[in-house]
């Protein structure tokens, strides 16, 4: 499949991989005996670049199934032979897409898709697969554990990272080379996004996952992507063809695909000492202000010439240069810089505050060719057909009524069961089987408490077998601890953000009786056991992956997080309540009312002081929304996770370690420029440091626009006009496209700010295309929480082209949101995807 030289490299990398994981080497070699030449090479290719977590957790037989399916569909699909070998290996054969749990989805997806696409061109097949994906799932915000493709189907929803993982899985199952690409952070708003690129007839195309349109290279994210500082894709390989590479290890390559979406520029940064000598191995971070922190979209290391190169968009960047002891920085406008030389004159601490403006790339996209009337009808029909298929599937899930009826089967915990069952989505049969299990009916209370301890997403993919293991293996310890401690930290299988697996039966069988006795008598002995028997590695790994507890004990290899997870799992399996501390991720166990650290670090006197932040204006300060706090460590600032500490009496108090801190305040203007203020403060031992916050102020531009009035109808079909509905009051008006991610974001943000949107002085009008849109789940949830919202229908389609034009909005996407003043003039408008728009609309309304 590759040149003899490349094949030899794969052979050597495969052997190295096997040698790293001696405990499963023989199992891999045994499976290879049943492989033909192509199967053998493909399997070795996967193992050559495989994360150690996957080697430990999944069997060679599973990977062989992926190999055989990929080779089969390459021979079967008419375009299979036209795909280059390297694209086949990286974008069809590769089983891993993101940091999802690996399940064998190929044949399930193939069996549904092949009849639909077998006679189509590659281009049309891609579109067909995306319509199929939309019939299976749509967007919904979820937690940060990435659900597997089969879980997304079971849930009928996923966040963008899950939708795109699912779509790539589906495309690869029918030999359509594809990859997930994403913006790690936007520069123009506080968020990120992921979508899909797919190769057709030798050219990469893009599409929104589970957001089908009848042609490719379109989607609501086109304009945001044109403003991005970086869009990239991770490939599990070090051979990627003719691509722009941001960074590369011997296992993973980060490909920069920003030029597919935006105007780009390569900039070169050179770091020298005071004598102008180049400095090697200096970290150069390219940062944007996102969620009120300086976030490194890429951190590169200088070469022998003291240089790094980076391809980025045409906006502002904050270049932060550091080693373990000190740093320097400079804000740049990429439009004006190509080569930048910085003298590393070593800042070690700062006291002087400063302000700056961070302006994103202007962006811009060509206006899309309008669909013909026939194409629009076809697109609407196909969307409606897909939507009906998904809704039919979702109708089999529990709802409030059926969950209430089901809960009556049980003698206790009825209210909790009623709440749990709808959250299980398409996984409800596993939950039913667990609740109805006769052998454990006398401990129903603890079964329900176990389900309540899990996260919402866990309920949608956990199995009966895992639930039963945890209740059967742990219930004997229920009287050893207070109920809450027992349920959360011993009965509960979840430790961190890992995929939940079986371990409570296996671990006691793996450990010797002597080890079990030692740990049971003194839980601190678990540290000695783990340190002696499991090796922690830190290189050549995809850092977002974790090894299961059993996989860790068998492979004897873990990363830092997996080491903590297996430690907690061992303790819980032996009846000892333990957890990873949410604040710092360190392992602690419960002993006589106290949490005791397992891994004793070299003794150091942790000195602390108090940092008090006070309001200096009438701003409502919210962590990550308009300020953050970072500590100077190892030459750079690390943002502290403090959003769980509340303000009281116009101040907030942080008990922190002594040291140097940086406070970042940010206030984004309607034109997307971030107004940033940076403050520095030193915290001394047993002293209180106080600092007053003043958010950077934004002035209204004063621009006012007239718009034509229009006929709208309320939900009782009463006719009125938009200006009559506003009733001479200032207000917010938004035209929605329910079910699509940009509208979902807006509705979610309105719900999150329900107290503000329910204020009688905030007049908000949401306009729909059809009365049927009221059944949209996200809109329904929002209206329950924000009854102050006014709903109207604009029949016969939205007539809003002139509003876009008057507001100079070139990318005519929905939602379109505008703000009226008291004089019936529009003072602000935006369209499409704008995270933070819920707050921005309120800010403009009250300006």
d(CA 159, CA 249): 29
Q: How many CB atoms lie within 10 A of CB 768?
A: 23
Low-confidence ranges of the chain (pLDDT < 50): none
Among residues 141, 362, 189, 363, which one has the least CA distance to residue 292?
189
State yes or no: cis peptide before 509, omega within 30 of 0.
no
Among residues 53, 67, 26, which one has the least CA distance to residue 547?
53
- pTM value is 0.91
Beta strands in 624-760 (DSSP E): 627-633, 636-639, 651-657, 659-668, 674-683, 688-693, 711-714, 719-721, 731-735
CB 517 within 8 A of CB 536: no
Whether 711-845 and 261-358 are alike in CATH topology: the answer is no
Integer CA distances (angstroms), 165 to 172, 195, 197, 412, 558, in order: 11, 9, 11, 40, 25
Dihedral angle sign, alpha carbons of residues 700, 701, 702, 706: negative
d(CA 153, CA 136): 6
Which helix (H) or strand (E) is 756 found in, with range? helix 754-757
Instruction: Count Cα neighbours of 443 within 13 Å in the Cβ-side half-sphere.
Output: 20
Among residues 274, 234, 224, which one has the least CA distance to residue 254?
234
Give the residue ranges of DSSP H helices in 408-443.
414-423, 428-435
CB 715 within 8 A of CB 771: yes
State the Cα torsion 490-494-498-501 to the nearest 10°: 80
pLDDT of 35: 97
Return the DSSP state at 64: H
Beta strands in 173-252 (DSSP E): 178-183, 193-200, 203-207, 232-235, 244-248
Instruction: Say which CATH architecture domain 261-358 belongs to.
Output: Sandwich (2.60)
Residue 163 structure tokens? 């939708």
Residue 271 structure tokens? 């770091």
* Strand pairing category for 764-768 and 790-793: parallel
Which helix (H) or strand (E) is 570 found in, with range? helix 560-573
Give the neighbor-by-neighbor strand order of the sheet with 203-207. 203-207, 193-200, 178-183, 232-235, 253-256, 244-248
d(CA 695, CA 320): 23
Integer CA distances (angstroms), 121 to 55, 80, 126, in order: 36, 12, 9
Among residues 65, 116, 716, 669, which one has the least CA distance to residue 360?
669
Q: Any idea which residue has 């240089």 for tokens?
A: 307
Dihedral angle sign, alpha carbons of residues 641, 647, 651, 656: negative
Query: Phi then psi for 841, rounded to 5 degrees?
Result: -65, -45
Integer CA distances (angstroms), 671 to 190, 503, 674, 829, in order: 14, 52, 9, 10
What is the largest distance, in Å, between two alpha-carbon atoms of the chain?
82
Three-state SS for 797? Answer: coil
Fold of 711-845: Glutaredoxin (3.40.30)
* Strand pairing category for 719-721 and 711-714: antiparallel
Q: Any idea which residue has 């299980």 for tokens?
A: 424
The 3-state DSSP composition of the chain as helix, strand, coil percent (nearest 5) reads 40, 25, 40
Integer CA distances (angstroms), 540 to 154, 535, 634, in order: 33, 15, 22
Domain ranges within the chain, ordered by starting residue: 4-258, 261-358, 400-572, 711-845
Return the DSSP state at 545: -
pLDDT of 541: 58
Among residues 228, 187, 181, 235, which one has the least CA distance to residue 209?
181
Residue 278 structure tokens? 């180049």
Residue 174 structure tokens? 């029918």
d(CA 127, CA 219): 13
Residue 299 structure tokens? 């951190």
d(CA 315, CA 185): 14
CB 817 within 8 A of CB 732: yes
pLDDT tens-place string over residues 132-164:
999 999 988 888 899 999 999 999 999 999 999
d(CA 408, CA 406): 5
Q: Any idea which residue has 């003291």 for tokens?
A: 306
d(CA 471, CA 49): 38
Query: Phi then psi for 657, rounded to 5 degrees?
Result: -65, 150
Three-state SS for 184? Answer: coil
Region at 341 (left for phi over 0; alpha for psi -120 to 50; beta for the rest): beta
Q: How many helices (H) and strands (E) does the chain have?
A: 30, 35
Three-state SS for 287? Answer: strand
Among residues 690, 722, 700, which one has the least CA distance to residue 792?
722
Dihedral angle sign, alpha carbons of residues 639, 643, 646, 651: positive
Query: Exposure string (b/e) for 561-587, b if CB count within 10 Å is 16 or more?
Result: bbbbbbbbbbbbbbbbbbbbeeeeeeb
d(CA 565, CA 567): 5
d(CA 404, CA 415): 8
pLDDT of 808: 81
State yes or no: cis peptide before 815, omega within 30 of 0.
yes
pLDDT of 811: 74
CB 28 within 8 A of CB 48: no
pLDDT tens-place string over residues 277-329:
999 999 999 999 999 999 999 999 999 999 999 999 999 999 999 999 999 99
Q: How many CB atoms lie within 10 A of CB 181?
A: 25
Which residues, at least 6 apart from 620, have a Cβ–Cβ distance to it below 8 Å?
Answer: none
Beta bridge partners of 46: none
């Amino acid at each position: 499949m590759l040149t003899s030289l490349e094949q030899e490299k794969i052979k050597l990398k495969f052997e190295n991989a096997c040698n790293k994981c001696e405990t499963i080497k023989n199992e891999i070699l045994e499976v290879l005996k049943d492989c033909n030449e192509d199967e053998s090479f493909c399997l070795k290719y996967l193992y050559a670049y495989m994360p150690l977590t996957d080697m430990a957790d999944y069997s060679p037989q599973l990977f062989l199934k992926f190999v055989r399916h990929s080779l089969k569909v390459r021979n079967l699909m008419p375009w299979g032979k036209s795909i280059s070998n390297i694209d086949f290996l990286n974008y069809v054969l590769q089983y891993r897409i993101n940091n999802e749990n690996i399940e064998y989805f190929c044949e399930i997806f193939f069996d549904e898709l092949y009849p639909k696409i077998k006679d189509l061109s590659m281009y049309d097949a891609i579109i067909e697969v995306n319509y199929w994906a939309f019939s299976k799932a749509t967007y919904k915000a979820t937690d940060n554990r990435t659900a597997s493709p089969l879980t997304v189907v079971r849930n009928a929803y996923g966040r963008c990272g899950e939708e795109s993982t699912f779509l790539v899985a589906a495309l690869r199952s029918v030999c359509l080379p594809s990859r997930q690409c994403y913006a790690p952070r936007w520069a123009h708003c506080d968020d990120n996004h992921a979508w899909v690129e797919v190769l057709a007839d030798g050219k990469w195309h893009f599409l929104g996952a589970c957001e089908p349109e009848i042609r490719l290279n379109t989607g609501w994210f086109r304009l945001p992507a044109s403003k991005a500082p970086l869009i990239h894709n991770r490939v599990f390989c070090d051979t990627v063809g003719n691509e722009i590479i941001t960074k590369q290890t011997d296992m993973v390559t980060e490909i920069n695909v920003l030029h597919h979406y935006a105007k780009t520029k390569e900039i070169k940064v050179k770091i020298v000492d005071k004598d102008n000598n180049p400095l090697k191995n200096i970290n150069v971070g390219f940062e944007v202000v996102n969620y009120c922190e300086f976030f490194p979209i890429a951190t590169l290391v200088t070469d022998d010439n003291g240089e790094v190169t980076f391809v980025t968009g045409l906006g502002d960047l904050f270049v932060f240069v550091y080693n373990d002891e000190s740093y320097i920085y400079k804000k740049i406008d990429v439009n004006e810089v190509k080569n930048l030389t910085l003298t590393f004159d070593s800042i070690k601490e700062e006291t002087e505050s400063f302000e700056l403006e961070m302006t994103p790339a202007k962006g811009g996209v060509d206006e899309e060719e309008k669909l013909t009337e026939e194409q629009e009808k076809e697109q609407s029909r196909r969307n409606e057909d897909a939507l009906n298929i998904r809704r039919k599937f979702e109708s089999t899930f529990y709802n409030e009524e059926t969950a209430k009826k089901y809960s009556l089967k049980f003698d206790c915990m009825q209210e909790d069961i009623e709440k749990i069952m709808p959250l299980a989505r398409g996984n409800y049969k596993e939950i039913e089987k667990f609740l109805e299990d006769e052998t454990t009916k006398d401990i129903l209370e603890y079964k329900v408490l176990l389900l309540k301890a899990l996260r919402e997403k866990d309920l949608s993919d956990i199995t009966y077998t895992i639930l039963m293991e945890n209740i059967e293996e742990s219930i004997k310890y229920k009287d050893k601890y207070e109920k809450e401690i027992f349920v959360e930290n011993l009965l509960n299988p979840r430790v961190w953000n890992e995929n939940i697996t079986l371990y409570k039966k296996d671990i006691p069988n793996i450990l010797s009786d002597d080890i079990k006795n030692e740990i049971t008598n003194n839980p601190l002995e678990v540290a000695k056991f783990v340190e002696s028997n499991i090796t922690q590695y830190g290189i050549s790994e995809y850092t977002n992956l974790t090894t299961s507890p059993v996989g860790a004990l068998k492979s004897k290899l873990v990363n830092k997080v997996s080491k903590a997870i297996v430690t907690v799992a061992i303790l819980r399996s032996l009846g000892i309540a333990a957890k990873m501390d949410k604040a710092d991720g360190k392992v602690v166990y419960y002993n006589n009312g106290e949490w005791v650290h397992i891994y004793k670090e070299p003794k150091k006197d942790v000195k602390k002081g108090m940092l008090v932040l006070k309001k200096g204006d009438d701003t409502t300060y919210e962590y990550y929304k308009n300020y953050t706090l970072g500590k100077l460590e190892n030459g750079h600032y690390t943002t502290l996770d403090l959003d769980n500490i509340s303000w009281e009496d116009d101040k907030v108090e942080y008990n922190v370690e002594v040291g140097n801190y940086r406070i970042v305040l940010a206030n984004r203007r309607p034109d997307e420029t971030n107004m940033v203020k940076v403050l520095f403060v030193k915290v001394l031992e047993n002293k209180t440091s106080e600092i007053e916050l003043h958010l950077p102020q934004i002035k209204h531009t004063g621009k006012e626009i007239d718009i034509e009035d229009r006929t709208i109808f309320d939900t009782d079909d009463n006719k009125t006009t938009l200006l009559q509905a506003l009733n001479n009051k200032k207000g917010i008006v938004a035209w929605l496209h329910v079910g699509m991610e940009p509208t979902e974001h807006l509705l979610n943000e309105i719900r999150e700010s329900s107290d503000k949107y329910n204020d009688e002085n905030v007049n908000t009008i949401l306009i729909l295309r059809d009365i049927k849109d009221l059944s949209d789940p996200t809109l329904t949830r929002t209206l329950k929480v924000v009854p102050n919202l006014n709903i109207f229908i604009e029949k016969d389609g939205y007539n809003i082209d002139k509003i876009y034009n008057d507001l100079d909005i070139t990318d005519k996407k929905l939602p379109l949101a505008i703000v009226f003043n008291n004089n019936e003039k529009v003072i602000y408008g935006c369209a499409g995807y704008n995270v933070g728009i819920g707050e921005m609309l309120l800010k403009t309304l009250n300006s």
